[in-house]
Amino acid sequence: MIPFNRPLYLGTELACVNEVLRAELGTSFRLECESWFHRHTGGSVALMTPSCTHALELAALVADIGPGDEVILPGYTFVSSANAFALRGAMPVFVDIRTDTCNIDERAIEAAITERTRAVVVVHYGGVACEMEAILPLAKRHGLLVIEDAAHGVMAQWRGRPLGSIGDLGALSFHATKNYTSGGEGGMLLVNEPRMAERARLIRTKGTDRDAFLRGDVDRYTWQVVGSNYLPSEVQAACLYAQLSAAEKVNERRRALWQRYAEMLGPLGASQGFGIQSVPAGCRHNGHLFYLRLPPGLSRDAWIAALAEKGVEACSHYTPLHTAPAGLLNSRFQGSAKHTLAACGDLVRLPLYYALTDTEQAQVIDAVTELMRQC
Ligand SMILES: *Cc1c(COP(=O)(O)O)cnc(C)c1O
């Protein structure tokens, strides 16, 4: 069976982890990772966190979002995009997505804005940027923050700008299913709005100015704001550091795999009614995922089972949040959920990861081609 995912493992992680466990004076892999993102984003303040979920929670705290506030986000997303704000007592307001990219439909945002709205949370699905050209001025006009859930987006760009560094705040993920992983869990908050940076540091470090103390800026550190501990372990940072050193190589391989899928499955798929992810002009994706949208009338479960029989593990993706038990109590959907529900029902992701060999990919392509021909 060709597995759906194999977490990125290069082998170089071990030496870094070993260094962490044996160092008597501590290591600074977290600072190295943060400085890597600072450089690669052209100056964002990068704060590594235990997960992207934590980075999103930190974003909600930094943005001071609370009871009575609303945030607008796509109906088709991971539960953490909504939880981070619901945890603060705010109301997630879902809007529909675009069919071509599965990203938030920028045309649906304005109708969801009320006097309580504080932020628009954009999710760059599969490392393909949302329609930022429309969203940034819209948010500005209404005085809303733009928070990017760029969990899928490490090494992807919009008009040359890394995803996560475009809005006010951006969250990245290093979970085992993402393009780079810090040992199964990990995340990063990018603070792109300089006036929020100090507050973000304080909240992440138990509400204290310990960062300033370590820099030698103050004599002792004290309780400055209400905060928590959103620092990752050095073991996580060591794994990530090793993988960032090979970031370009990994990205190129993923993009090549994506391209081969698109070339080999796109044309036949189109003739048989299957859709694939489209990549609008100005977007440079990172091969985070490759999906097919099944034509109406095909059972997705039957399709995934038929692929499994041919030795290929394929997966659906998100389930509707607004009709889930917690969603019914803590969120609302503005407007039609038509495209959200469609993506929840007909999207199938194929194996795509650094360690997928050309032979394995050919097997996947053969299996899918055979099934498509039968449609
Ligand atoms: C994976 C993911 C998250 C959460 O990331 P973790 O690092 O697992 O907490 C959030 N949003 C999206 C869109 C994701 O895919």
pLDDT for 26-54, tens place per residue?
999 999 999 999 999 999 999 999 999 99
Q: Residue 187 CA: which ligand 1 atom is closest? A: 7
- 193 near 163, Cβ under 8 Å? no
Query: By alpha-carbon position, which residue is closest to atom 6 of ligand 1?
Result: 52
- 83 Cβ inside 6 Å of ligand 1: no
Sheet holding 347-350, edge to edge: 275-276, 290-293, 347-350
Per-residue pLDDT tens over the stretch 88-106: 999 999 999 999 999 999 9
Cα(324)–Cα(69) distance, rounded to whole angstroms? 21
Is any atom of ligand 1 closer than 6 Å to the C-beta of 240? no
Mutate to test the pocket of ligand 1, among 8, 73, 76, 80 (most ligand atoms within 8 A of CB): 80
Rounded distance, CA 326 to CA 305, Å?
30
The pair of structure tokens assigned to 56 is 């999103």
Q: Minimal CA–CA distance to 174: which of 154, 158, 192?
A: 154
**Ligand 1 geometric centre to CA of 334 (Å):** 23
Place of tokens 């170089």: 12
Give residue 104 CA to ligand 1 midpoint distance, Å: 16
**pLDDT interval class at 133 (50, 70, 90):** very high
d(CA 145, CA 354): 35
Q: What percent of the chain has pLDDT over 90?
A: 99
Element (H or E) spanning 136, and its range? Answer: helix 132-141
Answer whether 77 contacts ligand 1 (Cβ < 6 A): yes
Chain-centre distance of CA 18, in angstroms?
29
Q: Is the CB of 349 under 6 A from ligand 1?
A: no
The Cα–Cα gap between 165 and 116 comes to 25
Cβ 208 under 6 angstroms from ligand 1: no
From 149, 151, 188, select the one nearest 167 (Cα to Cα). 149
pLDDT in tens, 236-290: 999 999 999 999 999 999 999 999 999 999 999 999 999 999 999 999 999 999 9
Which ligand 1 atom is the nearest neighbour of the CA of 123? 13
Indicate whether residue 331 lines ligand 1 (CB < 6 A).
no
Question: Does the global pTM surpass 0.95?
Answer: yes
13-244 domain in CATH 3.40.640.10?
yes
Rounded to the nearest integer, the mean pLDDT of the chain is: 97
Q: What is the DSSP string of 154-174?
A: TT-EETTEETTSSSSEEEEE-
Please list the residues that pair with 229 across neighbouring strands.
Answer: 205
Distance spanning both ends of the chain, measured CA to CA: 24
Per-residue pLDDT tens over the stretch 204-243? 999 999 999 999 999 999 999 999 999 999 999 999 999 9
Cα-trace Rg, the chain: 21
Q: What is the DSSP string of 258-301?
A: HHHHHHHHHHHHHHTT-EE----TTEE-----EEEEPPTT--HH
Residues of the chain above pLDDT 70, percent: 100
What are the counts of helices (DSSP H) followed by strands (DSSP E) for the chain?
A: 13, 14
Q: What tokens appear for 42 in the block? A: 């052209």
pLDDT recorded at residue 375:
84
Give residue limits of the domains in the chain: 13-244, 247-373
Closest C-alpha to ligand 1, atom 15: 151
CA of 53 to the centre of ligand 1 (A): 6
CATH superfamily of domain region 247-373: Aspartate Aminotransferase, domain 1 (3.90.1150.10)
Provide the pLDDT for residue 258.
98
Query: In this structure, what are the phi and psi dihedrals at residue 120, rounded to the nearest 5 degrees?
Result: -110, 125
143-202: pLDDT as tens digits: 999 999 999 999 999 999 999 999 999 999 999 999 999 999 999 999 999 999 999 999
**Is the CB of 351 inside a 6 Å radius of any atom of ligand 1?**
no
